[in-house]
Every structure is written in structure tokens, then in C-alpha cells.
Chains A and B, each alone.
Chain A
């Protein structure tokens, strides 16, 4: 059996999955000031009558790190950054203790200007004096050559609890995003570590020796142990949980749009042949642009509890939420009240909703019933328009080869999958307003927790080889090898897949059912003068996001 837990802003959803499907599901309110208690209470309830030895694992998605970042409650860390020529790295300052030092590496990983030991030592002493315990180190092009990050780390050794190196956090280019991501890792590290150590300890005290997995923003999970060094991967896992809970119901050959309709927001994502679409760059959270691998999601400020107003002759839905719906004791008309008035749901106080809709209907010059119908239809139209925008943006993404231009693959979903609290109430209307088939994800209210429970262990390897310099290098893996001049793309692919397999198993994947794929595969002849002097190879390999193998049939039984 597997426990899936998704702690959201208002509720924590938890499910218990066995071979027969969902054996139990529980919803508990989230206490934002005590997530630890929320998690424990959810776990206690779901496992009340269960022999703990029958639980194989627990997969958790929490808002812990996300909230810390959004609410800017991050502990002080130190950042050391070396930029070299280009945009002034001071402009990327992430926090108070942020030092720009000399040193530079070019785009092929060649050292242009060395690191000065004395300069690093001076920063080290300043950070120590300020009581800094965790430090991030980032140099430009460290994913082409990590030598300067490693050199800086050597000069810091012993002076701090933990040092985070940019090249270990992502193999992708983007110096500013690497700075942001490294800073977030260093900053959420103590929060994440302390929280999950406490959860683990409490479970052990209860005699539960269950492996804990943590859901990541890319819709895959990772072992708790592996998450310690890369805690930022676990931010923004909420939307991923819902998407993973939907993928079994998307078309096997075709594209689907997933809409998680909540109280305050609606989150959207895209499935292609039951595989979620990833963001090519990384998560953007609270104004931070990161290199954290994530599903491509789009969140809009329209949900069941969005405040509805009529201004300048136009209906406005969201983006704010003033509280619950009128029918549930709230202050402002909402789409949920429209549904209550229309008789689509009998939960809540209809009289209160009708009364509260009076002013709105008067302003619109129609009856309360018509106003409700209009509000609901307008809300559905807004959601669909945002969905169209998201698809258009995906299709506008630039490509860099003639081949891709010619292929011109466009995303065109034919199915919409809705989940979240009011999902079934929206489905019919959405279908009547769009050209897509609209389906409600089974167990729509806890599909997010199911998604967390069934997500695979995922990871990615980026490999870069430069045969003129006779080096192959996978930055995140701390892997560097001398290669022959005859080394080529095929060798690089094999090397990347080997590294990926090892990494996936270490992070908890099932070795017998690893679905790996190459997602970037580029080879360039390097020509100097009129002779080929080497090859420049860039390979990216990943474990495809998806559901775990042994529970595939379980998803089938959820229908």
C-alpha cells in the first residue's frame, strides 16, 4: 500500500492506495502555521486501522518550501558569485550577503581569469562574522567547467554548515537563474531538512519504518535522503500532484488540457499522449525565475470562490478571493454562489446567496437567476480563454533547427480534464462552450493525492562533451571523464543513459521499469581554419514523468 499526501493552501488531501484502488481518503484542513501538525493529523487519520508494515511508502507534496519563498521567510545565507564579462552580476543580487568576486570562464569552459584566493577568504570572513551558516557559490559557465566553483568551495571548507554549488543544482545554462536557484536551495535547506527529519522521527516513534518520498515540481518523486541536498526541487509540487492524478485519464494518443479548479485559482497543464509537458526553462515562483525542472503550468486567479463584481458595464471574476462563497458565509458573490442559485449544487445556504446576488443582478439589470447564469458562463469563458492563450504561447515557442521548423508540431488538445472541488459542476458548461470533450477526473476531489502517490521517481542528466578539449562532463552528477577524439554522439548518449540509470535508482526508481529517453541530442563539428578539430556534443536524458509501473492497473480501477 502507498500513502499519498498533498498539503494545499486550504486542505490536506490524503489517500491510501492498495492493489484494489483507493482504500481510504481523508481531507483535513491545513493549518498554515503548523504544517507539521497538519501532516501528522492527516497521516494518523488515513492509517487509523492499518498495520504500518503493510505500507510500502509515503509520498508527500507540501507547500512548506513554496510558502517560505512566497512569504519571504527565508533564513540568511551567503552567496558568492563570479561573473566575468557580460551583464554586471551585482544586478542579480538575491540577498543581503551577496559578494561578486573576480574570475571568469568562457562559453567553452576555458578559464579566462582565475579566482583570487585572498578575495574569497575576505568574503568568507565577512560571512562568518555575520553568522552565515549556509553558502551558495555560482560562477558563469560553471556548467561548462565547474573548476572555479570548486576552487571557491575549497577556500570555504570547514567554515560553514553546507555549501551549495551552482553546477550541481542544474546542468542548464542561465547564470541568473543558476544564482536564484542556488540561493533558494541554500535558503530552504534548513527549513526542509528540519521539517522532514521531524516527520521521519515521529513516524519512527510510532514504529513506522516507511520510506518517505517527496514530490517535485516536475511530477516525479525523489527519496527524502536525495531531497536534502536539492530541496528547491520540491517547491511548487502542488500543481504537479493534480496533473499526475489526471494523466491516466488523458488520451493515449492525443493531447489533453488539465484544469484544476480550486477556490482561488485554476491551474492548467498539458498532457501529450499521457505524458505531462515540461517547462523548457524552469519554475517561476513569486518573481523568482529558476532552473528547477517543472511541469509547464499556468495558474490564473479564477476559482470557485473568486470575487465577482460588475464594473463599467462588465463582469469581473477574480483575481481576488474575499473569503468563502456567500452560501458558505462569505462576504461577496462568487461563481460558487451562481451554481448554488442555479440549483446545480445543494450545498450551502441558497437564500444567503440569492440575497447577496441582489445588488449584482440589479447593477446588471437582470433577475438574480439570470445574473447567476451569466456569472457562471462568464467564468467558464474566462477559463477557456486563458487555456487558449496558454496553448498559443506553447505553440509560439521558438525552435532552432530547420527540421523542427518544418515539422511544425503544434499542441492542439482535444480533451479537457477537470478536477478540484467544483470540477463536476463546471464540466458540462465548459464542454458546451469549447470544441473539446470535457471529462471529470475520477475521484476529482483527491486526485492530487492519488497523483502524488502514483508518481514515478524522475530525474535528468545533462551531458556536454568537447572532443577538441577531450572532455565529457555531466555537471550535476559530479562526473568528468577524459574522452578520445573519436568520441561521438552515440557514445555520449550511452554515457548519459548510464549516468541516468544510476541516478534514478539511487533516488528510488524501480530498476526493472525505467522509462528513459533522450530529450536533447545535438552534435556540432568544430571547424578551425578548414579542418575539423573536434565535436561539440550536447545530450539530455530523462526518466519520463509518469505513473509507477506496478500501480498502473490501480489507476485503471479508479474509473
Chain B
């Protein structure tokens, strides 16, 4: 069962990802500049279906500064950070049709594009990404159907709040991995802690987040 109730101060109605009808006045609401939680998936759909530049501007305002800060944090220059943030957002526009809101939240999708842009920028060859078609071909298709019904945007908001509650020592390891480009071996050297400790912190953090994700259905 899905117990998490969506934040009540959102302007948007809660809907299932399979529901294609939206409140008629939603477009104005969602494109208005305000601080309420946005349904970013809806904005990506607007780009995919209607080439909606207003929707793009909304996404840009939220994501571009964060992507730039992220790239800067990883040690690249201000110019590189600016360029990669812009490139990421242009990719969001170009690939909007490939976004699957039943698979991930908009934030997860967009930040993954940003991460891959950073990795590709540092390397000669592109970062390999699992081709999910393989999984569909090979798996017994026993994927829990509830997975597809859960609203991924709500899941993201919930998981984000849970991640902020992780023990500091676990959060530090995750941040070093994502923001400082350190492998678990480098983290162990950087923090002068045994490799086994780094591994168990990673395992504890990911297991508890994964449990939370599973607990939603």
C-alpha cells in the first residue's frame, strides 16, 4: 500500500501516471512563477507533446542552477559548469519524448543526464548505460505492477526527505561519491577509514533507501 500522502500545499492535484487527463486550469497554475512544489513530469510532457517553451523555462529555473552548482562542486571550472548546465537543459528539450514518468521522477531523469554529461566531458568515450530492452527481453516480466502505478514524483519527494535523515557518516560517503568524483577506495583514503567501513556505510545507506522505496508498495 502507498501510505505517503502528498504535501497538501501543492497546487497540483494528485493523479496516477496512467491518467492522461489533467485539471483544465492546470496549465496556468503550473506555469505560474511560485514556490510550491512543481510537477516537473508534467512540464517534460508539455515539452514532448507541445514544444512548450514556458514549460521549459520553468524547468530551467529549477534545474539549471542546481546542475551548475553540482558541476562546480565536482571540480570543473565555472565556464564548464555553465556550459554543461546549458547542454543538459538542451538535451532535456531534445529528449523529452524519451522521458518515461512511470519509470522515474523528472528530477531523477534530469540529474542523471547532468551526471552523464559530466562523465562524458571528462572521458573520450561515452558512459555506458544499461539498455533496458535487455531486461524486458530477459526478465520473467514479474515486475511488481504496483511499481508502475506509484506516482514517481511523490516517491521522489518522499525519498528526498528520507535521504536528508540519513546518518551524517553515511551521507558524507554518498556526497563524496556523487560530488567529489571519488571511488569507494579513494573515499577510504580521503577519510582515513578502513575500506570495510566505507563499504558498510554505502550498503547501509542504500539498503535503507531501497527499503523505503519498496515500503511504498
Tell whether A pairs with B.
no
Q: State the A residues within 8 Å of B (CB).
A: none
